[in-house]
Structure 1
Amino acid sequence: MKLHIEHHTEYTYSWPVIYSIQHIRLTPFKLPNQKVLKWEISTPAKASHTLDHFGNKVTHFTVNQSHQRLEVTSRGVVELTPLVGGYLHDQADPVNPLVFSGATPLTVYTPDMAQFSSFVADSHIPFEARMLALANAVADRVQYKTGSTTVAHTAADAFENGEGVCQDHAHLMLACLRAHGFCARYVSGYRFSEHAPEHASHAWVDVYNPDKQAWLSVDATHRCLADEFHCRLAVARDFTGASPVRGVRSGGGEERMKVGVQISGI
């Protein structure tokens, strides 16, 4: 499966921004099952590139002149092949999986959440079956509803309110897994569907299987293991460290963001 992806982000401000710094995580990983055939990121100022401590490629740029509009566009072609059983093999991780075992402010778990997911600790059930059962439980508990939450909402918020988006599914699954001692990380990226009227950034979870010493990639929103339709951009302990576009600014007043994602199979 070859995908042509274009991701356009536009910020507009009610007052001029004097100075801004942006950090962009919009470059797909190079993996055995994910080949980046071509990729470019267009920014309004000269950019530099680094790897963060999770191994994500980060594009940085600074705009130090007055502006009321800022645009970032990433585009390219990625070739994806199926994962074997949802596992990421032959991946050199820059950090120990234990880094992903502790709760974060967005993934703090409650006793009710731990009880809700208690079955995931039953080692008599095959690992993959437990993770898919949790994905289904999370999707049942939190009904998908566009615009029902913001990036500031936590796993506990989604659990109590019963609605959210893919980011909330991922955060709730992370909270449940960490409540029972699993190492699990947030994944940002895209999922292609020929039948989707429009596409958007997506989020799912990797959970570490110590018996196989490999990460199992699970999509709670679609109740499945990751496959050749999932394109990976970044991993982190939660959304905060994997946000596609993140920055700070001086001035600007009210901010509005418009995001458009186009994905086509070629």
Structure 2
Amino acid sequence: MRYAVSHATTLEYAAPVQLAQFNVRLRPASWPGQQVSDYALALDPGPAQVTDGDGGYYVNETRFSLREPISRLRIDSRFVVEREALPFYVTAASGPVLSDLRERAMRLPDLSALGPASYIFASPLAAPERDIALWSSGFLSDAMPVMEAGRALMTAIHDQFAYDSGATAADTPPIEAFHARHGVCQDFSHIMIIAARAHGIPAAYVSGYLRTLPPPGQARLVGVDAMHAWVNLWCGEELGWVGFDPTNAILADTDHVFIGMGRDYSDVAPLDGTFRGSSQQTMLFSVDVAPLD
């Protein structure tokens, strides 16, 4: 599948802000089965300085600063992406059993941003939670192959939790969403990461996009898509990282567009920054994932 992806963000401030510096993480990182072309980022007003680099984990980061006071900022990201289907050997695989996985990850001599050892331990938004570990112990065991465990975990979240776009905010602790049994893709991904790590599975938070389909008989609307989150589990040396989407109980495949991955949302947030001035702001966004095939 080929898609044209566009993402427009508008920030409006109650009063002009000064010395603004922002980090944008919207340029897709390289990923197997995904080819990206024609990436462009437009900023209005134009920044005084722009630098591109990595965001510390497996994510591209554009940093920019503005010298003049601003009351409005517009960020437009566009690219074309081609997604290949998951190979059969991945969808049909079992992978190592959980009792072996942690040790195998720690032995692997990979200190890169994709090294599994970086995704075993606690992170700022995915600290260990006893209640989540006990809950997941009801259907995960040390003798279970990792692919089976990943499917069981994402299915349990999908079946036991309700999607509710108004239930949580970006800073809601995962344990609150867990006890409430509702949330959004960010909450479900953090819960899955905490549960997976409790059983020795290296787990990463993935930021990206998901192709959405209109209800039967209705026209496809432009600009109503959104960013999405899912979980990458390290499934051994042969399989590597495999994407599991607990919001939809499916493996990440041709409908998923990969942007970047980190330990949790804080590593891959699409936009953050600092400024001097009023903290009252409004954020508006429009996302479109348009099939080209």
Instruction: State the TM-score, normalizing by the size of structure 1.
Output: 0.92
Q: CA deviation at 1:228?
A: 0.8
Q: CA deviation at 1:192?
A: 0.5
Answer 1 or 2: which has greater strand percent. 1
Q: Counterpart amino acid of 2:84? A: T
- Number of paired residues? 263
Secondary structure of 1:117's partner? Answer: helix
Would you say 1:186 and 2:205 are equivalent positions? yes
1:55 aligns with one of 42, 54, 58 = 58
Would you say 1:250 and 2:276 are equivalent positions? yes
Q: Counterpart amino acid of 1:214? A: G
Q: Counterpart amino acid of 1:18? A: Q
Structure 1 stretches of 4+ moved >4 Å: none
Would you say 1:76 and 2:84 are equivalent positions? no
Cα distance in structure 2, aligned partners of 1:119 and 1:100: 23
Cα distance in structure 2, aligned partners of 1:207 and 1:23: 26
Cα distance in structure 1, aligned partners of 2:282 and 2:131: 36
Secondary structure of 1:27's partner? Answer: coil
Instruction: State the TM-score, normalizing by the size of structure 2.
Output: 0.84
Q: Report if aligned partners of 2:19, 2:276 keep a CA contact under 8 Å in 1.
A: yes
Cα distance in structure 2, aligned partners of 1:55 and 1:160: 30
Q: Report if aligned partners of 2:147, 2:235 keep a CA contact under 8 Å in 1.
A: no
Cα distance in structure 2, aligned partners of 1:79 and 1:116: 38
Inter-CA distance 124–181: structure 2 relative to 1 (3 Å threshold): closer
Structure 2 residues without counterparts, runs of 5 or longer: 94-110, 216-220
Q: CA deviation at 1:231?
A: 0.5
Cα distance in structure 2, aligned partners of 1:226 and 1:99: 21
Deviations, residues 59-109 of structure 1 (Å, cap 9, x unaligned) = 11101211111110101211111122369xxxx953421111112232223
Cα distance in structure 1, aligned partners of 2:239 and 2:289: 33
Would you say 1:165 and 2:184 are equivalent positions? yes
Would you say 1:135 and 2:159 are equivalent positions? no
Q: Report if aligned partners of 1:18, 1:252 keep a CA contact under 8 Å in 2.
A: no
Q: Counterpart amino acid of 1:153? A: T
1:200 aligned partner: 226
Q: Report if aligned partners of 2:56, 2:267 keep a CA contact under 8 Å in 1.
A: no
Q: CA deviation at 1:47?
A: 2.1
Q: CA deviation at 1:120?
A: 5.8
